[in-house]
Chain A
Amino acid sequence: MTAVRAEPATTGAVAMQRPGLKVPIALGVFALLAVLLLALLAPAGTSTFSLSASGSGAVQLPQIPLHARTTGIVVSLLAVLMAIGSGLLVRAGRRVPLWYTVVFAVILVVGFLAWATAGHTLPVTGLLESALALSAPLIFGALGGVVSERVGVVNIAIEGQLLAGACVSAVVASITQNLVVGLIGALVAGVLVSFVLAAFSIKYVVNQVIVGVVLNVLVLGLTTFFYETVLVNASDTLNSPPRFANLPIPGLSLIPVVGPVLFDQSVITYLMYVAVVAVFVGLYRTRWGLRVRAVGEHPQAADTVGIDVGRTRFWNVALAGAIVGIGGAYFTLGSVGAFSQNMTSGAGYIALAAVIFGGWDPLRASLAGLLFGFASSLQNTLGILGSPVPSDVLLTLPYVVTIFAVAGLVGRVRGPAAAGRPYLKG
């Protein structure tokens, strides 16, 4: 991971690229797996896809029964055809478009779901709803990563910022019994972690990757110590914050499928929508964004037009910490309602992967976060339904998706040229 991060441009450039062949090969492998698993080893039985959220929703949608073996055969046939199609595209000298890969992936996922949930009812709306909620911390983390790296500071400390945000928000919200104050606490916690990162990497030019990793370990140690010595004994007063209830948006939340998924969420998820749009628009359309990008690409050029590189980096790393901190509050105020040790369990690293998978672009990094969130949600759902896949294997699902996404599909992406490099005058 870190090796890839350090010099994204060069590693990409050195490898001789045979354009396009990678995608057909990957699709082919997946198509073969589909034939083997979904068609030949299909279980008997029917999976029922339920599109209506239980209880809510004005319009009741029909339940869709999918016969596992039939679906498996159809899906694997489609997959094989699409893999061959992509090979033909490449032979004709064309690139395989992204939507092609996405359609392929969606078909496979449907096939996999029908296979894995044979004999059960799959709550599709619930699956997607929880996917969105689970991706909230990843997306906040990815946005913070994008802002920080775009300004030229590699942010490995996302994990630490999430964890600090989770811990502080739980305690603050428990004491004040006020969710908004708890959220502000998370934000402040993220900023404090950022201050350390910024001070060491900008002022004292310590290697940014090392500071980030050390911060993650430090925050993990501190929160664990605090949890075991204080929170465990005083969980009633210090570790029982209120939780954000789902806040359905009138009207919008009644739309079938889309409504409950997108508009019956907690405040943290709505904040996430705002953050994605704000960072995206801000980065490309405003003075702030132009300066951030200039400082991350060519700090000396920014300096010569009168932009204070050190200060710009410092405050934007702090801003990144604030964004990530809010994501940390999801774990406590938005989900479980109490802090426990190492409760982020690597979400920060997955967010970091989303930054790279998304090519340092806020929108695409958010979509990557969504993908990883979906993998987590799928793992939860299948675990509950009792699928034929062993639960330990299911637990690795989000991480497997991460590895495939970053290693297989990214290819050559160019990150901010000056990310990771301290700026010294003269």
Chain B
Amino acid sequence: MRLELHGITKRFGALTANDRIDLDLRPGEIHGLLGENGAGKSTLMNILYGLYQADEGRVLLDGEEQHFTGPGDAMRAGIGMVHQHFMLVPVFTVAENLMLGHEQARLGFLDLPAARARVREISARFGFDIDPDALVEDLPVGVQQRVEIIKALSRDAQVLVFDEPTAVLTPQETDELMAIMRQLKESGTAIVFITHKLREVREVADRITVIRLGKVVGEAEPTASNSELASLMVGRSVELTVDRTPSAGGDTGLVVEGLTVLDARGHTVVDDVGFSVRRGEILAIAGVQGNGQTELTEAILGLQEHVTGRIELDGRPLTGLPTRRVLHAGVGFVPEDRQEDALVAEFSIAENLMLDRSDGAPFVKGAGLQRRALATFASEKVREFDVRAQSIETAVGRLSGGNQQKVVLARELSRDLRLFVAAQPTRGLDVGSIEFVHERVVATRDAGVPVVVISTELDEVVALADRIAVMYRGRIVGIVPGDTSRDVLGLMMAGEVPEGTRMAA
């Protein structure tokens, strides 16, 4: 089935999310849709899928104009979608999820055996091993994604949209997904592959369309180089590698030993973790989301309740200290969810910059705020960290993600640090901001501070790390040198250490 989008325009208030976008897709083709977060990729696909209605433009299937008023229409027309956040009901079985919305039923009674058979049939076609009666919430993420794919295929989707499908996968699962996409392509399905990851789109796509700020800015062949694609995507030439000299390597700063963290239900989420970080060194903690990295950083900051083990900074124990004293000990922290944990959206930039210094000089005297001192400080930091905002009184919630993260960095890096912990420091940021954040992290290291970077993005880990600790199911699988190959890291992220891997701890 041939799909064409002509002049699709979608506005949200003053913002034009899609501006006269054209796109065409042929059967048996994988079309990469490349763009940064917020470029308008997902909006476009939601229009195609009937979740949004376009303000202008036409959707053609085999030359016939379509008017989708909801996802049901799009599905009937043969368009399927594998969502970034899976659209599966966690407490339903695989078979129930598969049949939801187009149930086979006799007199209203569900025909579950037919749904089970359908799951088995499609699974067999792709060599999946999926139990139709398993509850979706019990399945690993990679398998849930396959359920999403089966769900789309069970409605005879001719056009399949993958929306950032690799965000939640290990590198191995990503490879398997790409194999599945090629197999679908062989069988004649047309695929739209939405991503912001250059390597993946080059590996699997037949053609690439690049979107920036709601507009199509160019088409590219998969043979194009990373930097060509990146400059198309960002609109200027960008450095994809971080400039850094090898670590000087000073005295040991942070020591963690036998750290175990239990969650509220008593499950072990960090399991006997130990590592040390020298001054002037970046230790990256790699791993798929949800393998204990979040709890590990929170334990260092004193934000977790059930912590045993030893955390020492410059020979002084941090374990069991309240968060305020941990901060006073010279720990800078960039939380992984900046809107939830790092900033107060309704507060101004200036107020956010003093959030961790509300207990005394220079911004508080007696019970009163020293507004003038704060304004001077804020203006200085806004300039230094290149925060693009109308004034220091602008509410942080109205800034872009990149500028929000700059505010967080400005706050955390303008104290005398003895340790810097950055969790997912570039998540959801545009390439330009990523560059800026990475430079700052490296500069902090070069100033002789021990740095811990937690990241699920292998690119980021490889770009920044002097040493890499890989976490899997709450444990550290191994600590390896910063130049370890991606394949080895990928295997370690799935809990395996290949024979002959060099360790660095």
Contact = CB atoms under 8 A, between A and B. Distances in A.
B72 interface: yes
- How many B residues touch the partner, as a band? 20 to 34
Interface in B70-101: 70-73, 75-76, 81, 83, 86-92, 96-97, 99-101
Contacts of B87: 298, 300-301, 304-305
Given A14-B264, A286-B108, A308-B70, A301 B89 contact: yes
Interface in B317-348: none
A16 B266 contact: yes
B88 A301 contact: yes
The interface centre, meaning the residue of B101, B103, B108, B110 with most chain A CB atoms within 10 A of its CB, is B101
Nearest to B112: A285
B89 A294 contact: yes
A305 B88 contact: no
Contacts of B109: 285-287
B125 interface: no
A218 B461 CA distance: 60
Given A306-B71, A306-B72, A425-B51, A290 B110 contact: yes
Contact of A302 (B81, B90, B100, B102): B100
A286 B264 CA distance: 37
A296 to B, nearest CB: 9
A305 B264 contact: no
A45 to B, nearest CB: 51
B83 A304 contact: yes
Contact of A287 (B75, B105, B265): B105
A293 B89 contact: yes
A291 B83 CA distance: 20
Nearest to A295: B89
Contacts of A371: none
A15 B266 CA distance: 10
Interface of chain A: mostly helix, strand, loop or mixed: helix
A287 B110 contact: yes
Interface in A291-322: 291, 293-294, 297-298, 300-308
Interface string B28-58: 0000000000000000001001011000000
Given A298-B88, A425-B51, A426-B52, A305 B75 contact: yes
A404 interface: no
B410 to A, nearest CB: 32
B90 A426 contact: no
A286 B96 CA distance: 11
A303 B100 CA distance: 10
Given A293-B89, A300-B87, A306 B265 contact: no
A13 B90 contact: no
Contacts of B102: 305-306
Nearest to B73: A306
A17 interface: yes
B90 A298 contact: yes
A290 B75 CA distance: 19
A226 interface: no
Interface in A42-86: none
Contacts of B46: 426
Interface string B103-141: 101001110000000000000000000000000000000
Contacts of A302: 89, 100-101
Contacts of A417: 90-91
Given A286-B109, A305-B75, A426-B51, A291 B264 contact: no
Interface of A: 13-17, 285-288, 290-291, 293-294, 297-298, 300-308, 417, 425-426
20 contacts: A16-B265, A16-B266, A287-B109, A290-B92, A291-B100, A297-B91, A298-B87, A298-B89, A298-B90, A301-B87, A302-B101, A304-B49, A304-B51, A304-B71, A305-B75, A306-B70, A306-B102, A307-B100, A417-B90, A425-B51
Interface of B: 46, 49, 51-52, 70-73, 75-76, 81, 83, 86-92, 96-97, 99-103, 105, 108-110, 151, 264-266
Given A294-B92, A304-B83, 20 more contacts: A14-B264, A16-B266, A286-B108, A286-B109, A287-B105, A287-B108, A290-B92, A290-B103, A293-B92, A298-B88, A300-B87, A301-B87, A301-B97, A305-B72, A305-B102, A306-B102, A307-B101, A417-B90, A417-B91, A426-B52
